[in-house]
Each structure stands twice: as structure tokens, then as C-alpha cells.
Amino acid sequence: MKEIKVGLIGFGTVGTGLAEVLLSQRERLIRRTGMSIRLAAIADRSVQTLPERFRDIPLTTDGMELVDNPELDIIVELIGGIEPAKTLVMRAIAAGKHVVTANKALLSQEGADIFAAAAQKGVEVGFEASVGGGIPVIKALKEGLVANKILSIMGIVNGTANYILTRMTDEGAPFAEVLKDAQKLGFAEADPTYDIEGIDTAHKLAILMTIAYGTPITHKQIATEGIAQIEPMDIELAREFGCRIKLLAISRNHGDHVEARVHPTMVPQSHLLASISGAFNAIHFQGDTVGNVLLYGLGAGMVPTGSAVAADVVDIARNIASGSVGRVPALSYLPGHMQPRRITPMDELYGPYYFRCTVLDQPGVLALVSGILAKHEISIESVIQKGRKEIGAVPLVVVTHSAKESAIHAALGEIGRLDCVTGPVVKIRILEEE
């Protein structure tokens, strides 16, 4: 029986998940591939001993040993971050090894170098686990939807942020406590600000956009806002407006320009994405031939993500065995057919908005606020003022009809500078149902 030898760099949450999956699914993979796919070496800087069931696998602290080991066919990089991950991946490629990575930060920033080197060397780079945890979203986009112009991408792709928002919504649990639980469950990034500030979501959207449109995008081109400013009051008010707050990755394809944005969004409860709870992810594509497609599953966690890494390893093993390495281009489009595209400036977007400001509870305040909105041609859909007090500040909440982002930006700037406004103005975009 043909044997494929895999070297794993990084025995953290996902690395352990891969080892578990390759072990628990060993017989099934033999029946499905006719090959023995063996974890032949593990490198991790801080792990001293492997769990009992993996003790026969050689362990080193030096990833370079694996990259330079001529016995290994595939290197799996699961250490995360840019360096030393990039050096290890580039050296593995230069050595003619196939690479599998879950490293969304690396691919969304340095993907151009990595994919160019891999194409030149004729090796594969699998990255299914970089977006959507266990959901086979990359394969769906590259293969299942290959005969489509992708018209839009919309998704919940950060399990930690969705877990936090869900528990804040369902239990009124405080942000900090829920974040700690997400860290314990192994969902959160090493630096959880990546989850909370939307950076991890932007990494993933950059990867999806690149393969959906055949347009090289880095996460730095994506307008990104996180969930840190969302307060329990906003969640409660969203409920009153028939919405749930979700951290969404959004891209619409306008042909010569494409939207690229990550921000908290008020999603109407009737929308499918409003019901995605906990660490679950969901990615919605609209294709010109297929129509609407929704992929749903666990977007983080040890074994689900291990399942996605294992799928890439199996894909590569099959391609090695059948002599069809490179059959599917890494980015779905052939390297010579990738085309840069303009990113739609945020100021040009239209949509309804929710905003909340804290105002002194005195006559004339509402007239001032509505006057500024009218001046910027922003039409109000509804207004709520909570908690009347004799003296003091109260939250004033406004929902607008569809307005231009640049007008909202200018109006909220003016409102924020009013003497009667005593705190920052919180703005949340509302998802318009199509």
C-alpha cells in the first residue's frame, strides 16, 4: 500500500485535532484512498511529550528539521502568525514539498509570494482550514462553484465573535466573561483582539474574495470594525427593532469594483444569518448560475478544524497518487488570469443605519439631531429615547432609511460635537434584505 508521510509543525489546538482525526479515521481513509496517510513527524517549540497514543511519532522542537526531511511528502503548518511560518512554508515549497496550512493571517498577507512559489515549483498549497473551520468552503468555492461568477459573499466567519455576541444576546452575559470561555474552548486566536476587532474575519474575507473573484486581495484592503464597542443596550435595542447583531464579512461584486468590509451588522431576525449561533459559522454565496448557497458548520475548535486540514492532506495524497498534482489551481483561477480590482470606497455605500448617542435630557435635543440628519438628506425611520430622568443623560437611538455612508459619517460627526451629546456615538449598519 502506498504511504504518504506527513510532517506537522505546531501541535496546538488544530495540530492536535489533525493528529486525532488522522488516527480516528485511519481505516476509513485507507478504504477511501487506498493509501496509508501517516503522521510521520511532529515539531513544536513548547511540547515536551506527546499524548500516549502519539508517542511513536518522532517529536522535535525545530520545524526546519521537518522541512528539510526528504522522507516527508507534505508539510502541515499550524503554528499561525507570519514568522517563522512564512520561512518554513517557503522553504518547504523550495524543497518540493506540498504544504497544508490553516494560517489565514499568513495567506491574507503573504499569499501572493507563497502561491507564486508553489506554482513555480509545481507543488500544492491546501488551505481549507483557513476559513470556516470544519466547513468545506474553500473546496466549494474552487470546485463546486467553479462555473459561477460570484456576485456576493456574506458570512459569519469568526467563531469567537459569534460566540460572544450570541451569549451576550441570549444570556445578557458580560463581554469579558464570555471571551474567557471562548479562549478556554480553544476558539480564540492567540491574540484575541484579532477576533474582537474583526481582523481574523478580514483575513478570511480576503482569502474568500481572492478565490471567488480571481482578484488578489490582502486583509489590509478591507474596511474593518470590531465588536468591542457593542454594549448590552445595543443588543437589547436591536431585538426591539427585530434584529440580532452579528459580525459580518461582506463583499458584493460590482464588476469593475468590489466591496470589502467587516463590521457589526444588525441582521433582521428573518434572515438566515441571524440564526447562526455560538461558535458556528455560515457563509452565503450568490452565484450567477447557481443562485444562493449557504454553508454552515463549526467554524472553530480542535477536531472540526482538524477535519478540514485532513481533507487537504487527503486531496494532495490523491493527487500525488494519480499524478495529478496542480489539477485544481491553488486560487481556483490560473496564475496568469488573476486580475486586480478596485475596492469600493466605504463612503460610496448606501444602507440603513442604527445609531445611539448619549444626550442631555432637555428640550430641543431631538430637533437638533433631526435637523442635522435632514441637512445631510438622511431620512429617519424611527427614534427611541430610553430612561427619562429629571437631570442627566439618556440614550437616544435613531434608525434611518437607506442613506449614503459619507452623509452618515458627516452627520454623526456633527451630532457627536453637539454640547448636549455627552458620549461617543455608536453606529451599526443594518443589513438590507435583498
Q: Among 4, 88, 300, 378, indicate the residue that binds ligand HSE (CB under 6 A).
A: 300
Smallest distance from ligand HSE to CB 221, Å: 20
- Which range, of 46-54, 156-164, 330-338, 361-369, touches ligand HSE by CB under 6 A? 156-164
* 151 DSSP 8-state letter: E
* 159 near ligand HSE, judged by CB under 6 A: yes
Count of residues engaged in binding ligand HSE, rule: CB under 6 A: 11
Q: Among 39, 141, 188, 283, indicate the residue that binds ligand HSE (CB under 6 A).
A: 188
Contacts of 77 (CB under 8 A, 6+ apart): 9, 10, 63, 85, 88, 89, 92, 99, 100, 101, 102, 103, 106
Nearer to ligand HSE, 155 or 395 (CB): 155
* 156 near ligand HSE, judged by CB under 6 A: no
Q: Among 111, 136, 155, 299, indicate the residue that binds ligand HSE (CB under 6 A).
A: 299
d(CA 434, CA 295): 18
Site for ligand HSE, residues 95 to 134, rule: CB under 6 A: 133
Three-state DSSP at 152 gives: strand
* 158 near ligand HSE, judged by CB under 6 A: yes
* 152 near ligand HSE, judged by CB under 6 A: no
Between the alpha carbon of residue 407 and those of residues 142, 393, 398, the distances in Å are 38, 26, 15
* 77 near ligand HSE, judged by CB under 6 A: no
Closest C-alpha among 274, 125, 112 to residue 206: 112
d(CA 423, CA 434): 34
Closest C-alpha among 58, 294, 265, 55 to residue 162: 265
Smallest distance from ligand HSE to CB 224, Å: 15
Smallest distance from ligand HSE to CB 248, Å: 14
* 354 near ligand HSE, judged by CB under 6 A: no
Nearer to ligand HSE, 111 or 133 (CB): 133
430 burial level (CB within 10 Å; 0-12, 13-18, 19+): buried
Q: By rule CB under 6 A, what string of x and - marks binding of each residue 193-222 to ligand HSE?
A: --x----x----------------------
* 160 near ligand HSE, judged by CB under 6 A: yes
Closest C-alpha among 211, 74, 214, 77 to residue 137: 211
Q: Which helix (H) or strand (E) holds 315?
A: helix 302-322
Q: One of 142, 204, 246, 427 is an active-site residue; which one?
A: 204
Active site residue 204: yes
Three-state DSSP at 202 gives: helix
* 187 near ligand HSE, judged by CB under 6 A: yes
Which residues are known to be catalytic?
Answer: 204
Residues that bind ligand HSE (CB under 6 A): 133, 158-160, 187-189, 195, 200, 299-300
